[in-house]
């Protein structure tokens, strides 16, 4: 969103702003602001964030499932059948087979597409990398444009809000202890990652790979498989052939995977809501429901809306996840305040 809002600026200026935004986020992590933020994340806010993530990814799921589809009806049927089969596999498989359901799903669904589809499969679109190949240095040459930097500081605030919410949701889901320290470390390294990404001239990463949906789908919340997968991804950067193999996964298969993972995210959210009794009166439902509707509204709003939002605040108003989180914070603590005790860290 930040890049789109400052697309008229030079590439070095944009990546310099990304780097500064990441450093600002890391600085906020080591300050006392996170301690204050964690106290406002009640169970209803956490549950709402768990519901917001699938909703904000809905446009991506739709795009992957139907983009460049020669027969949209075939794609719809394939997505529904494949998702149901993944649910059945997750139900009946045990042990490591259950934890690797997504891997088997990707392999089998990709094979099925190549066998059943009568036309060549459109592989996942990727950037050609011409800009990267044209770079004479591994690092960018910093270029300071204060207008662009100011816009990306808003992006850093938006990412900070979403990051704290995501970490709190995962921590609440798995019953982790020392959440204050975990949140501080998580936000710090997320900001540091964005800063390093900007320095190398690439877009920063997100932590959706550690979302409650992935944890629910794989039944694994350990950091060690994540470390191994990170090392393997770094290795892929030096093996272009491995990247080409990954690009052979059809768009519609990735749509199936995201639909399945986001379904498990919804399930985890409902489970937490019931266990923690997040909804007991009508207003509790309003606190959760309105932010979800606002996120839907922004996710599927016409493109013209973004063009009318001032570029400096577009990273906030144009981001459905951030606006959903802001809305639930307002409802929970100002408009429909509850007497409930603030969620434990």
Q: What pLDDT shows up at residue 4?
A: 59
pLDDT digits (tens, 9 = 90+) for 17-62: 889 989 998 998 888 777 777 777 788 988 898 898 889 889 999 9
Indicate the SS3 state at residue 142: coil
For residue range 118-134, list pLDDT tens digits in order.
555 444 444 444 444 45
Q: Which residue has the higher pLDDT, 17 or 318?
A: 17
pLDDT at residue 96, as a whole number: 82
Three-state DSSP string of 226-254: HHHHHHHHHHHCCCHHHHHHHCCCEHHHH
Give 179-189 pLDDT, tens digit per residue.
888 888 888 98
pLDDT of residue 119: 52
User: Which tens digits make up the pLDDT trace of 221-263?
Assistant: 787 888 888 898 888 888 888 888 888 889 999 999 999 989 9
- How far apart CA 318 and CA 307 sit, in angstroms, is 10
Helix boundaries (H) for the chain: 2-5, 11-30, 33-39, 43-56, 58-66, 72-92, 95-99, 101-116, 130-133, 146-174, 179-200, 212-218, 223-236, 240-246, 251-275, 282-299, 303-308, 314-317, 320-330
Q: What is the pTM of this model?
A: 0.74
Beta bridge partners of 250: 123
Label residue 338 by pLDDT band (50, 70, 90).
confident
Checking if the pLDDT of 340 tops 60, the result is no
pLDDT for 8 beyond 60: yes
Stretch among 140-144, 159-163, 177-181 having the lowest mean pLDDT: 159-163
In this model, does residue 341 exceed pLDDT 50?
Answer: no
């Amino acid at each position: 969103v930040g890049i789109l809002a400052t697309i008229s600026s030079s590439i070095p200026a944009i990546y310099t702003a990304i780097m500064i935004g990441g450093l600002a986020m890391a600085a906020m992590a080591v300050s006392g602001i996170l301690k204050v933020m964690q106290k406002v994340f009640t169970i209803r806010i956490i549950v709402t964030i768990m519901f917001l993530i699938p909703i904000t990814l809905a446009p991506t799921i739709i795009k992957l499932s139907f983009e460049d589809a020669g027969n949209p009806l075939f794609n719809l049927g394939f997505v529904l059948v494949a998702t149901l089969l993944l649910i059945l596999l997750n139900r009946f498989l045990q042990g490591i087979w259950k934890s690797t359901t997504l891997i088997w799903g990707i392999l089998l669904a990709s094979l099925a597409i190549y066998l059943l589809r009568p036309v060549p499969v459109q592989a996942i679109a990727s950037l050609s990398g011409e800009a990267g190949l044209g770079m004479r240095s591994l690092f960018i040459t910093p270029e300071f444009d204060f207008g662009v930097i100011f816009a990306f500081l808003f992006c850093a605030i938006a990412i900070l809000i979403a990051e704290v919410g995501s970490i709190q949701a995962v921590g609440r889901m798995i019953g982790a202890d020392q959440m204050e320290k975990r949140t501080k470390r998580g936000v710090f390294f997320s900001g540091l990652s964005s800063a390093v990404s900007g320095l190398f001239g690439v877009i920063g990463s997100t932590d959706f790979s550690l979302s409650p949906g992935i944890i629910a789908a794989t039944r694994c919340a350990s950091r060690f498989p994540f470390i191994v997968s990170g090392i393997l991804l770094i290795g892929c950067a030096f093996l272009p052939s491995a990247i080409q193999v990954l690009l052979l996964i059809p768009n519609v298969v990735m749509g199936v995977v995201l639909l399945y993972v986001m379904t498990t995210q919804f399930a985890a959210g409902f489970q937490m809501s019931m266990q923690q009794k997040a909804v007991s009166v009508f207003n509790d439902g309003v606190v959760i429901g309105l932010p979800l509707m606002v996120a839907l509204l922004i996710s599927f709003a016409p493109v013209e809306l973004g063009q009318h939002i001032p570029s400096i605040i577009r990273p906030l108003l144009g981001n459905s996840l951030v606006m959903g989180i802001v809305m639930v914070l307002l409802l929970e603590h100002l408009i429909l305040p509850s007497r409930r005790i603030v969620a434990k860290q």
